[in-house]
């Protein structure tokens, strides 16, 4: 069982559900965006969002618009993306930290590289990290539309670090797939938001308390 992060030279961090307990903020925002949809469609949106937590809203919103019978033109998608951002940014910033993660981030070793890989849009995640005053901890920040697997491959190559010395910490099936695709280790942060957790038998944690 993995109980330390110190020996990893390169650690990739998802954001929602790993650094901030903000998954519910995003769930509530999707449901608010499509509040006029029938209940069965709202349940479908909720379950899809939780099942594929690491996928960007850039991909999700066109799907959900289609489900509610709205043609996802570029203009319509852009309007819904703006509404979504207005709903979530400050709520994400003010949401609780995952227990122990602040200490974990501040214990970063000199030889380690920390990289953010998130489905949150690039400019938005940069703004959030600045407001939280943790942006300087990370050597690189990757938000949407950059795919997680591409970000991981970029960092492995540019930092010249071996796959076995690298770890992705995530909270979704999407994160696990990115780790599998790139050959790095995966640590699952468990929440109550997906059936995936009961299926996953690898390294997993509830929080970072007691981690070194």
Number of domains in the chain: 2
Give the count of alpha carbons within 13 A of 170, CB side only.
33
Q: Which domain holds residue 81?
A: 23-94
Distance CA 132, CA 130 (A): 5
Give the count of alpha carbons within 13 A of 22, CB side only.
24
CATH number at residue 111: 3.40.50.1000
Distance CA 126, CA 117 (A): 11
pTM for the full model?
0.91
| pLDDT given at position 199 | 79
Is 3 inside a domain boundary?
Answer: no
Give tens-digit pLDDT for 80-110. 999 999 999 999 999 999 999 999 999 999 9
Asked whether residue 106 falls in the same domain as residue 86, the answer is no
| pLDDT given at position 134 | 98
Is 5 inside a domain boundary?
Answer: no
- CB-based contact 176:186 (threshold 8 Å): yes
Distance CA 212, CA 208 (A): 8
Asked whether residue 58 falls in the same domain as residue 102, the answer is no
Asked whether residue 148 falls in the same domain as residue 165, the answer is yes
Nearest alpha carbon to residue 128 among 13, 3, 50: 13
Q: How confident is the model at residue 193 (pLDDT cuts 50, 70, 90)?
A: low
């Amino acid at each position: 069982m993995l109980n330390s992060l110190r020996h990893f030279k390169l650690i990739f961090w998802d954001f929602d559900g790993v650094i901030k307990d903000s998954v519910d903020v995003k769930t509530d925002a999707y449901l608010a965006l499509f509040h006029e949809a029938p209940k069965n469609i709202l349940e479908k949106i909720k379950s899809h969002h939780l099942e594929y937590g690491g996928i960007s809203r850039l991909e999700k919103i066109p799907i959900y618009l289609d489900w509610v019978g709205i043609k996802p033109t570029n203009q319509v998608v852009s309007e819904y993306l703006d509404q979504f951002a207005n709903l979530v940014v400050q709520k994400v910033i003010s949401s609780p930290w995952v227990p122990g993660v602040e200490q974990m981030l501040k214990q970063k070793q000199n030889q380690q590289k920390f990289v953010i890989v998130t489905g949150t849009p690039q400019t938005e995640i940069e703004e959030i990290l600045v407001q939280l005053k943790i942006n300087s901890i990370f050597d690189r920040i990757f938000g949407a539309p950059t795919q997680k697997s591409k970000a991981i491959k970029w960092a492995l190559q540019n930092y010249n670090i071996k796959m076995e010395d690298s770890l992705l910490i995530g909270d979704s099936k999407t994160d696990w797939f990115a780790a599998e695709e790139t050959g790095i280790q995966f640590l699952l942060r468990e929440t109550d938001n997906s059936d995936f957790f009961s299926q996953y038998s690898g390294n997993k944690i509830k929080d970072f308390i007691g981690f070194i």
